[in-house]
Amino acid sequence: MPIETFEIPRPDNMHVHFRGMSGLLRLAAPLTASVFRRAIVMPNVPQIRTADDLVNYRRDIESVTEGADFEPLMTLMLTEETTPEMIREAHAVGCSAVKLYPKGVTTASQHGVADVMKCEPAFGAIADCGMLLLVHPEKPGEFVLYRERMYLDMVRWIMAHVPDLRVVLEHISTFTSSRMVQDGPQNLAATITPMHLHGDLDMVLGDGLRPHNFCYPVLKTPEDRRELIRLALSGHPRVFAGTDSAPHVRGAKESPCGCAGVFCDPVAIPVYAAVFEQHSELANGSSWRDRIRAFLSENGADFYGLPRNEGTMRLGRASWSVPGVYVDDDGKEVVPFLAGETLEWQITERDDHA
């Protein structure tokens, strides 16, 4: 029986975590490259603080994705020691964006920024180079569910001081961030992960503790989630996919102090498709397929000033079971998002050079 399918241009993932050269990199990067045409690669593990770091890391990623029609787009980690000269050097070797981690807020952010005001010269250089500032918007030390909301004033301060800087609020998780982007200026955008659209905090601790659903920012309330779904389906041009896929070995997640991060790229596209379809009434007179095309394949490229991708991907309604575990070539196990569950959508076809 023919299955229901539809086609979109090859998608972009505007927020992904790989790892240093290891089995985890050889597992995660090819998997992302098999789905996405481009990905914005986060600079926290390994720490990418100089142009040389960036070039070496890009070479490692390219060596494990050779033959794939895939382009890693690299980022630099902002620290209080990052000078305008370092920003220009990174730009000269092809850096796409600079990532602001508040100090101590998530995995390997101990070199992040405590005092944003010290970075004003760097912000100016980022804007002058035409790069973007990507923000992990959480205020360290605050109650975990309030951290995102409490960091937004810092983002407003940055945007007021460097008005021509393009800023992306990464992996937004709250009603407040959604409205800030919706009503915000042309130079403010947001990424949304599959986790934050698929579920709320109950998915982490409402029915036993589920460490493989744990990420920062943590999933929030049903009201927050509903607002994120509304924003994603609204067709807002500055809202796009960034999966925040982050592989961790099983033992680091299933632990008394488990680390944050969800390995979601194996299921990201099917999860986005299911959410968009289930909430198609929020597409405001447009079709959910048009909305997901923009979200996955158009809005991110447009905001970054990149050409839209050639090539296509076909999604089909055909159920499949998510593997319970992936094993890298060092024998390390990584449990993916929704391990063992049955999903209704899958990628049925890819054509790199349509």
Closer Cβ to Zn ion, 9 or 261, answer by number: 261
Residue in 200, 244, 265, 328 binding Zn ion, rule: CB under 5 A: 244
Element (H, E) at 11: none
Query: CB under 5 A: which stretch of 18-26, 75-83, 141-149, 243-251 binds Zn ion?
Result: 243-251
Residue of 60, 244, 265, 328 marked active site: 244
Q: Based on CB atoms, which residue is closest to Zn ion, 244 or 265?
A: 244
Query: 323, 31 in Cβ contact below 8 A?
Result: no
Tell me the closest approach of the beta carbon of residue 134 to Zn ion, in angstroms. 9
- Looking at the Cβ atoms of 8 and 215, the one nearer to Zn ion is 215
The helix or strand, by DSSP H or E, that contains position 316, with its residue range, turns out to be strand 312-321
Nearest to 87 by CA among 45, 46, 43: 43
Query: What is the rounded CA–CA span in Å between residue 226 and residue 206?
Result: 18
Q: At 133, which amino acid appears?
A: L
192: phi > 0 → left, psi -120 to 50 → alpha, else beta; which? beta
**Residue 131 DSSP class:** -
Residues touching Zn ion, count (CB under 5 A): 1
With respect to Zn ion, which residue has the nearer C-beta, 216 or 288? 216
Q: State the minimum distance, in angstroms, from the CB of residue 15 to Zn ion.
A: 6
Tell me the helices (H) and strands (E) count for the chain, helix number first. Answer: 13, 13
Q: Report the nearest approach of Zn ion to the CB of residue 214 (Å).
A: 13
Residues 97 and 131: their CA atoms lie apart, in Å, by: 5
- Least distance in angstroms from the C-beta of 199 to Zn ion: 18
Q: Using CB under 5 A as the criterion, what x/- string covers residues 195-234 for binding Zn ion?
A: ----------------------------------------
Q: Identify which of 89, 98, 87, 88 has the alpha carbon closest to the alpha carbon of residue 135.
A: 98
- Label residues 250-282 b or e (16+ Cβ within 10 Å = b): bebbeeeeebbbbbbbbbbbbbbbbbbbebeeb
Q: Which stretch binds Zn ion (CB under 5 A): 200-208, 239-247, 271-279, 307-315?
A: 239-247
Residue 192 CB, nearest distance to Zn ion (Å)? 12
Nearer to Zn ion, 244 or 328 (CB): 244
Task: Mark 49-83 as b/e (b = at least 16 C-beta within 10 Å).
Answer: bbbebbeebbebbeebbeebbbbbbbbbbbbeebe
Rounded Cα–Cα distance for residues 248 and 263 (Å): 7
Spatial contact of 247 and 19, defined as CB atoms under 8 Å apart:
yes
265 binds Zn ion (CB under 5 A): no
Compare residues 200 and 244 and give the one whose CB is closer to Zn ion: 244
> Which of 138-146, 149-157, 244-252, 294-302 is the region at the interface with Zn ion (rule: CB under 5 A)?
244-252
CB nearer to Zn ion: give 60 or 244: 244
Cβ-based neighbours of 304, under 8 Å, separated by 6 or more: 14, 73, 96, 97, 132
CB of 183 to Zn ion, least distance (A): 25
Tell me, yes or no, if 53 is annotated catalytic.
no
Which residue has the closest beta carbon to Zn ion?
A: 244
Stretch that binds Zn ion, among 127-135, 142-150, 236-244, 277-285 (CB under 5 A): 236-244
Per CB under 5 A, contacts with Zn ion among 7-26 are none
Q: How far is the CB of 217 from Zn ion (least distance, A)?
A: 10
Hey, which residues are catalytic here?
244
| Binding site residues, Zn ion, CB under 5 A | 244
